[in-house]
């Protein structure tokens, strides 16, 4: 039983990991050290209720807060009273109120219930996504590519079109089918720059349809987005996603300089037809 990775242990791990991610300075866009001169300085925030706590008290509260957020977001039906009861018994080294066999049986059954619930959600999202894509495909102005990506031109640009190896700068807003916005560079007030080939397949294809200055609405099937796994706490399994994307700039990839026209290759540069890759190496894909 002690070797079994339980759901509760995983959730506790997630709560600590969530704290580490929140403390990562790379997780949030950089902010100016001082407000612009044209704006008055924001008033100082009042002390938080836990400001005077010791480091250990703060750490304990943060673990509990993140654990509670994870349980709520994942819709895990447990109560705070029972969690606190278990924590008190565990921290106090008190006799457990369930036997090892009861713990294993209960957690196995509970995990099976949660897996069945997740599977039902997966199937529900898949059906809803298929119905939405079929209806959206028939709307005026919506085009569908061979992969199933759907796009609508809001504004057509006149600049160049990026390649998969280029970097682009874009503004965008991502939303679920119910209209809930899960990510937006507009809200952050700052466009983002990334490699075209470094994002989900629906974005890779959609960006290469656009010209600089364009604004498109992309409707991305789950197979071209995050599939059955979903992403984070907001993008569920088999979710169809919609993005408004504004292509602002392209940074072409740096190509190696071409060799002189009269350059000769060494005599042994040609690889024998029967040559095999060295141990631990794979042939080019």
* pLDDT tens-place string over residues 14-64: 444 444 444 433 333 333 333 344 555 657 778 899 999 999 999 999 999
Give residue 207's domain range.
141-251
Q: What is the CATH number of the domain that holds 186?
A: 3.10.50.40
Note whether 167 and 196 are within 8 A (CB): yes
Q: Which residue has the higher pLDDT, 6 or 91?
A: 91
pLDDT tier for residue 75 given thresholds of 50, 70 and 90: confident
Would 165 be classed as within a structural domain? yes
pLDDT at 184: 96
pLDDT at 32: 32
Would 246 be classed as within a structural domain? yes
Q: In the predicted model, is pLDDT for residue 140 greater than 50?
A: yes
pLDDT at 155: 97
Q: In the predicted model, is pLDDT for residue 283 greater than 60?
A: no
Q: In the predicted model, is pLDDT for residue 6 greater than 80?
A: no
Would 23 be classed as within a structural domain? no
Question: Which pLDDT tens digit goes with each residue over 229-254?
Answer: 888 878 999 999 999 999 999 998 76
Please state, for a pLDDT cut of 70, what percent of the chain lies above it.
Answer: 74
pLDDT at 279: 42
Would 285 be classed as within a structural domain? no
Q: Which residue has the higher pLDDT, 219 or 18?
A: 219
Mean pLDDT of the region 115-140: 94
pLDDT at 212: 97
Q: What is the mean pLDDT of the chain?
A: 81
pLDDT at 270: 40
**Least confident window among 58-62, 197-201, 261-265:** 261-265
Separation CA 202–CA 220 (nearest Å): 6
pLDDT at 259: 55
Would 269 be classed as within a structural domain? no
Would 220 be classed as within a structural domain? yes
Question: Which pLDDT tens digit goes with each residue over 144-190?
Answer: 999 999 999 999 999 999 999 999 999 999 999 999 999 999 999 99
Number of independent structural domains in the chain: 1
pLDDT at 41: 61
């Amino acid at each position: 039983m002690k070797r079994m990775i339980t759901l509760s242990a995983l959730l506790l791990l997630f709560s600590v990991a969530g704290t580490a991610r929140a403390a990562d300075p790379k997780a949030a866009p950089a902010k100016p050290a001082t407000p612009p001169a044209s704006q008055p300085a924001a008033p100082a925030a009042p002390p938080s209720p836990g400001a005077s706590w010791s480091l250990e008290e703060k750490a304990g509260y943060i673990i509990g807060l993140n654990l509670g957020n994870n349980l709520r977001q994942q819709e895990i039906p447990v109560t705070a009273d029972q969690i606190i009861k278990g924590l008190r018994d565990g921290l106090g080294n008190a006799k457990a109120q369930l036997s090892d066999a009861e713990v294993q049986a209960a957690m196995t059954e509970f995990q099976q219930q949660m897996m069945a619930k997740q599977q039902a959600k997966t199937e529900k999202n898949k059906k809803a996504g298929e119905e939405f894509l079929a209806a959206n495909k028939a709307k005026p102005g919506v085009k569908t590519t061979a992969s199933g990506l759907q796009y609508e031109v809001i504004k057509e640009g006149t600049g160049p079109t990026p390649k998969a190896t280029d970097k682009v700068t874009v503004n965008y807003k991502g939303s679920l089918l119910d209209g809930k916005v899960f990510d937006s560079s507009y809200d952050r007030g700052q466009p983002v720059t990334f490699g075209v080939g470094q994002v989900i397949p629906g974005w890779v294809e959609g960006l290469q349809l656009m010209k600089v200055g364009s604004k498109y609405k992309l409707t991305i099937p789950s197979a071209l987005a995050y599939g059955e796994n979903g992403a984070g706490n907001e993008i569920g399994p088999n979710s169809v996603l919609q993005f408004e994307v504004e292509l602002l700039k392209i940074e072409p990839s740096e190509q190696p300089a071409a060799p002189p026209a009269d350059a000769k290759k060494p005599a042994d540069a040609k690889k024998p037809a029967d040559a095999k890759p060295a141990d631990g190496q794979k042939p080019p894909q």
